[in-house]
Amino acid sequence: MTQPRLTVLAGPTAVGKGTVSTYIRDNYPEVWLSVSATTRPPRPGEVHGLHYFFVSTDEFDALVRDGELLEWAVVHGRNRYGTLRRTVQEAMDEGRTVLLEIDLQGARQVKESMPEANFVFLAPPTWDEMVRRLVGRGTETADEQRQRLETAKLELAAEPEFDHTVVNDSVEHAADELVSLMGLRPLQR
């Protein structure tokens, strides 16, 4: 048996981390998926305590000040997101298989404090597919698209910092590979 330990899933913007972690939440109840605190307002259908703990900027300040966050970051230059140290510690103490789905800045912070964790990079199948996902919506200006692609290049360059890479060619496949890396058995289909 592989010793259960904390796994961090990170990767470039728009690679589909959220889709993979939603799939894991729905199909692998044995995985304990961390619920982050965020200052971002909820989107329609998002539930406080399930998708995020939606907090005010003052509440987030207090979490930072009181050392309650294992890591935190400003994502997309706007809202703050952070992992609650205590809930993660409790899940680990219970022997649960813990997954954090966070951005690259957060993953680097966890590496500082928990170098023994399992770091998994979620990669796009190809650069072209990534460009398609990033610019595909057609809602950004040409300048914004250029900016996003520049960011994506920098983010892709972080791959060697990780222990493993999972290619997101399909959500089922990526989720199965991720749970295997977490020492669990993938679903039989």
Q: Is 87 exposed, middle or buried (0-12, 13-18, 19+ CB in 10 A)?
A: middle
Under rule CB under 6 A, residue 88 binds ligand 5GP: no
Selected from 19, 22, 105, 151, the binder of ligand 5GP by CB under 6 A is: 105
Task: Between 46 and 187, name the residue whose CB sits nearer to ligand 5GP.
Answer: 46
Under rule CB under 6 A, residue 111 binds ligand 5GP: no
Shortest Cβ 40–ligand 5GP spacing (Å):
5
Q: Does an H or E element contain 17, and which?
A: helix 17-27
DSSP three-state, residue 100? strand
Under rule CB under 6 A, residue 73 binds ligand 5GP: yes
Cα 94 from Cα 100, distance rounded (Å) = 16
Question: Where does this chain touch ligand 5GP (CB under 6 A) — which range of 75-83, 112-120, 125-133, 140-148?
Answer: 75-83
Under rule CB under 6 A, residue 36 binds ligand 5GP: yes
For the chain, state the CA radius of gyration.
16
SS3 content of the chain, % helix, strand, coil (to 5): 40, 20, 35
- x/- string (CB under 6 A) for ligand 5GP, residues 52-71? -------------------x
Which tokens hold the place of 23?
């799939």
Shortest Cβ 58–ligand 5GP spacing (Å):
18
Cα 103 from Cα 82, distance rounded (Å) = 10
Task: Between 102 and 152, name the residue whose CB sits nearer to ligand 5GP.
Answer: 102
Under rule CB under 6 A, residue 87 binds ligand 5GP: no
- What type of residue is 19? T
Residue 108 · residue 161 · CB < 8 Å:
yes
Cα 173 from Cα 155, distance rounded (Å) = 22
Selected from 40, 85, 108, 164, the binder of ligand 5GP by CB under 6 A is: 40
Residue count, binding to ligand 5GP (CB under 6 A) = 15
Under rule CB under 6 A, residue 35 binds ligand 5GP: no
- What are the residues binding ligand 5GP (CB under 6 A)? 17-18, 36, 40, 71, 73, 75, 81-83, 101-103, 105-106
